[in-house]
Structure 1
Amino acid sequence: MTELINRPEYLNQLIQHRDVDLVKIVTGIRRCGKSSLLDLFHQYLSDSGVPDVNVIHMNLESLRYRNLTNYLSFYDYVSERIPKSGKTYLIFDELQAVEHWEKAIESFRLDFDVDIYITGSNAYLLSTEFSTLLSGRYVEIRMLPLSFKEFLAFYEFAPSVTTEEKFQRYLQFGGMPILREYQFNEARSNQALEGIYSTVVLRDILQRNNQVDQKILQKIMLFLCSNIGSITSPNNIGNVLSHEGDIQQGSRKNVAGKTVDKYISMLRSAFIFFSVGRYDVKGKQLLKTLGKNYIIDMGFRNMLLGYRDADRGHIIENIVFLELIRRDYRVYIGKVGETEIDFVAEKPNDKLYIQVTESMQSPETRDRELKPLRMIPDNYEKIVLSMDRNYINSYDGIKSLNLIDWLLS
């Protein structure tokens, strides 16, 4: 068995929710570490004295459970194995393989003394029927590929390798845990990423959506990868693809835009992309048009497009977005007058305004990055993140931080 490497941020969330009467659902793109997390949690239960008989742990994509295709056979199989005494921990991996699984889960909650943990690799797991049935009775734990902090713990580096060089590797290879096996061999890593990407497209998009044109899906994927950090709309993307002859415009002008919107929604549901809306900071309202899309992991982008140093500005913006999500912020693109703020990040009692740039050295860049932050009329924290390391760490109360230091803080 592969050695399990702890991911304390996620494991601690499961431990904090232990024995709370909510179904714990771990979601995230395939191969980001969900199964390993459940293995770690199983290990934690054993170490804390839970008898083996009181833990039922199943991966529903295993052929061992090939006959458990619907909720009734699944319910019967598990029910027979739940002991009569003591709380039982039910751990189900890739549960979307069972049709109407949510009915069985709700029944386990009602019929037995159980604590339930589930993983799933696409957002259909949290579809409307499920949300209606288990409304208010579940908590979602969104799992992402490795953060830079986790990346440093996962890999072994020679003592001579600087933190900046390690960060460069992170930008290039991304944070999918499986790549650790290849120790930065670019060709093998790309093969592994291609395999994961193909599985996601096949199992989590094509098999679940009839009439998907794989060629159009790939074109939209490449377009989004090329335009990370750029303001786009489905109509813009549709127009570009229509000019290239990939989408028929039809008699109605917005057919292409609707098609693109549907495909982007599928990519979001498979956890490949996040779409981020715009927020008018002065008007304090969400804007309905135009937004940005960020990819789940830079390794996939680089596998599809090749790694280009010229893209570093957009790449580090994507890294910051993912880190804010990891830190449980709700994230928007900010609009102040005619200017834009890269990120407005909110929690119930906290708000951050963040600009991301590769360097603040030139006066023009400095003015461009600081101007929108200076226009904000409130006193919440304002930060510019860059790769610079210099003695100036504040401009009129706006913090200037090194990106790597911020990621490791």
Structure 2
Amino acid sequence: MNDYYGGVCNTVLIKDIIARKKIADPHLLERVAQFLAQNIGSLNSVKSICDALNAAGRSISVNTTEPYIAGLTDALLFHKVGRYDIKGKELLKTGHKHYLCDLGFRNYLLDNERTDFGAVLENVIYLELARRGYKISIGRIGVREVDFAAVSPDGGLEYYQVALTLRPPGVFEREIAALEAVRDSHPKTVLHLDPDPATQHNGIRLLNALDWLLEDTTS
């Protein structure tokens, strides 16, 4: 499969982005792609990405980094997701996350290095929400973050937290706290991979992510 993803990735990177954006350093473009793949689901900015690459020994400026990232998102290799202030009901201009269009590219770009399964699960949930036609933002409520504030095709707002497991000490409380801080009546769900039946906590649905992925959404 790596040969397949390598072929597609090289076609997108070389024939599309490099030619269309007139990229001067293809190796640096690949390094930017690797950084984004390694940090899916992490809040970042053009400056923070630039600083991280410079700290790793790659000399790159903000003015160079920005079109490289734009090329990767314009080619739909990565999806850029902005932040939404839940209390203020407005999109924020700073901070965003990137998610891969296909997680197979992550294995190729990072040469199958040890996987952060929590970030991978978050990427999977993002892709499924997008497939279902949701408009997706990262929610902010005070100092807390809601993984996804998603508007359904019929206009309804829903909130989602994603956690690999809720069982370690403090994890359940942390994931629930962000949703409990949202003082509205829109549906709230925590998705996890624990083999537990669906339940609720103070009106917040707790659901196995695999069960959610297999839900019938045709009705």
TM-score where L is the length of structure 2: 0.93
Distance in structure 2 (CA, Å) of the matches to 1:307 and 1:408: 27
| Residues 5-404 of structure 1: pairs in structure 2 closer than 5 A | 189-248=1-60, 256-307=61-112, 310-347=115-152, 348-391=154-197, 393-404=199-210
For residues 152-187 of structure 1, what are the alpha-carbon distances to aligned partners after superposition, in whole Å with 9 as ceiling and x for unaligned?
xxxxxxxxxxxxxxxxxxxxxxxxxxxxxxxxxxxx
Contact 2:135 2:150 in 1 (8 A): yes
Distance in structure 1 (CA, Å) of the matches to 2:176 and 2:56: 38
1:407 corresponds to 2:219: no
> Could you say if the C-alpha distance between residues 215 and 308 of structure 1 is closer, same or farther in structure 2, counting changes exceeding 3 Å?
closer
Which AA in structure 2 matches 1:264? Answer: I
Superposed CA RMSD in Å reads 1.5
Q: Which has the larger radius of gyration?
A: 1
Question: Whose relative contact order is higher, 1 or 2, with alpha carbons under 8 Å and at least 6 apart?
Answer: 2
**1:300 Cα deviation (Å)?**
0.6
**1:272 Cα deviation (Å)?**
0.1
Higher helix share: 1
> Could you say if the C-alpha distance between residues 310 and 267 of structure 1 is closer, same or farther in structure 2, counting changes exceeding 3 Å?
closer
**1:355 Cα deviation (Å)?**
0.3
Aligned length in residues: 214
Distance in structure 1 (CA, Å) of the matches to 2:115 and 2:104: 16
Distance in structure 2 (CA, Å) of the matches to 1:359 and 1:309: 18
Contact 2:78 2:101 in 1 (8 A): yes
Contact 1:235 1:258 in 2 (8 A): no
Q: Secondary structure at the match of 1:297?
A: coil
Distance in structure 2 (CA, Å) of the matches to 1:399 and 1:282: 21
> Could you say if the C-alpha distance between residues 218 and 405 of structure 1 is closer, same or farther in structure 2, counting changes exceeding 3 Å?
same
Distance in structure 2 (CA, Å) of the matches to 1:391 and 1:245: 48
**1:245 Cα deviation (Å)?**
4.3
Q: Secondary structure at the match of 1:359?
A: coil
Distance in structure 1 (CA, Å) of the matches to 2:69 and 2:118: 23
Distance in structure 1 (CA, Å) of the matches to 2:183 and 2:7: 48
**1:259 Cα deviation (Å)?**
1.9
> Could you say if the C-alpha distance between residues 363 and 394 of structure 1 is closer, same or farther in structure 2, counting changes exceeding 3 Å?
farther
Q: Secondary structure at the match of 1:215?
A: helix
Distance in structure 2 (CA, Å) of the matches to 1:225 and 1:288: 22
Q: Secondary structure at the match of 2:183?
A: coil
Which AA in structure 1 matches 2:10? Answer: S
Q: Secondary structure at the match of 2:175?
A: helix
Distance in structure 2 (CA, Å) of the matches to 1:216 and 1:375: 41
Gaps of 5+ in 2: none
For residues 196-223 of structure 1, what are the alpha-carbon distances to aligned partners after superposition, in whole Å with 9 as ceiling and x for unaligned?
1111112211121224310110110010
Distance in structure 1 (CA, Å) of the matches to 2:199 and 2:113: 29
**1:384 Cα deviation (Å)?**
0.3
Q: Secondary structure at the match of 1:283?
A: coil
TM-score where L is the length of structure 1: 0.51
Contact 2:81 2:98 in 1 (8 A): yes
